[in-house]
Structure 1
């Protein structure tokens, strides 16, 4: 495999989504027995993420590794790591996503130099998983639940169906303190580690660059051989490589992403279906309708009508 240089500096490669607010980049995501929540697709971000799996069965993918989760546990996602979650049953799951800059100190003390600065630079990593049998688990759980509770105090602000933020100063201080205590417990049990570069880093960058290209050019006409060429691989190998790590072929992923964008436009605008079809990269209406029905079980107009009626009744 031809190696490509990592390109983490390109902001377009990252998830285009705000976690928390500009002044306090920390958000809480929760789902409880929501049968409509299937998980989250492959993405990555600069922020760190603490995942608390409470009940249900999940498939968590981080970079090149797949984790099957059936019991209560914590997982950690470090900055820039490609990850996805698939919910296989009705689940209870929670996540706190935060930028490490909210923990910085003005004074350059030992915590700043040995933990916070290396974490900001992506040189110090969280452990991957903490399970109940580990002696630190109960302490992490207590602090995590205190952080969750702080989001609900003094007028939390739901951003959408799943994300919550808080603009309350006291709540932000409690959240910051809780995150620092979690870092302290991890340091106490020597669970923070220095980042080691492996061949998987290059494989992850190939996938991230390929997904970024699709997300940027989904409205244009392009072919799989373009993705393969950008990755420095032959097309046949690239297709096998992509399917192995994403779980579907490049063509299936491209169509699914385009339909997802079309769904958003149907929800948010009254634009004609044909315009949406063309803007989302489908140059054949019949193919667009077929892929849309495969994803939703409806035609675009039926979907728009159903979505409108559902939200009017709320």
Structure 2
């Protein structure tokens, strides 16, 4: 599958209703059935009207304000195809009837026929691939340096599950050959490299936030806090809580720096 289905909701937004800044761990596609308003996706501002749709990448903070009462459908899915979709507001077309595609997902979710979970993944995959086809100029061009390209993808999506076998296929190599080339160029295997990125991000969050360890674990892409604590200690020699204690001591005790 090119994508896995996460959620779909339908809602009516009232005139002047504001949807506060938030983000999702997956792609979100918002289809505006009716109404109009403004949205901020990351650092970019857009206006929208009926028939428009928004593509929002994983972990991008976004918000919305509705100038008129609006009907909205929003779908979440995780993509397994590279390169990634590009954020923005787009217009529904006859070749990409977004309303029809979204309602097909809504019908499947409502009816729950046999194998509906697999069908939802199939519909989400179809939607994802149609979006990639509809915006060919926005697809990142294939790099001659495929390992650099793979490293860039990992740098952008290390907080999420990455299918390294799919990434190897996209690069044109078997997984074993891809892993060998990646390690030679980067100095670590893809799995070790993504672990290092996650640990470094966790260190920043431990130093600069008061988030619980379990929350940091999920934010950094670990499946459980137990896995996070085990991997963190293996890589650093201390537990996350001990790391936070040392970081606080270093930042508050002048004598530590002498």
Q: TM-score, with normalisation over the residues of structure 2?
A: 0.47
The structure with more strand, counted as a fraction of residues: 2
Q: TM-score, with normalisation over the residues of structure 1?
A: 0.40
